[in-house]
Amino acid sequence: MQKQSIQYDSPLDALVAIAKRLSRYETEAGLSSEDFFDRFSQGSWGDDTQSVEWANDYRHYLALRAELGKILDAAA
C-alpha cells in the first residue's frame, strides 16, 4: 500500500477536507467519530485499513482543531 500525501494551503483547508472524510465515515458506520475513536482506542473495533484511516483522520482533525484554536486565541 502506497502512502498518499496531500498538501493544503492552510490548516483550515486541511480541517475542512478531513471533516468531510470524517462525515463520510460517520454516515457509513452510523456512529460519530468521537464514539468510533473511543471504541477503536479500547480495542473493541476492528483494525482493518478503513478503521485505521478513520482513526488517523480523527487524530489529525483533533490536532488541527487545537492548532487553529491557538491561532485564534493569539489573534484575539
Residue 1 pLDDT > 90, yes or no?
A: no
Owner of C-alpha cell 487545537: 66
Q: What is the mean pLDDT of residues 10-27?
A: 93
Residue-wise pLDDT tens digits, 43-74:
999 889 999 999 999 999 999 999 989 988 89
Residue 16 pLDDT > 60, yes or no?
A: yes
Binning pLDDT at 50, 70 and 90, where does residue 4 land? low
Tell me how far apart the alpha carbons of residues 26 and 69 are, in angstroms, rounded to a whole number.
24
pLDDT, position 2: 58
Q: Return all residues near 59 (Cβ < 8 A) that are at least 6 apart.
A: 37
Nine-digit cell string for 34: 468521537
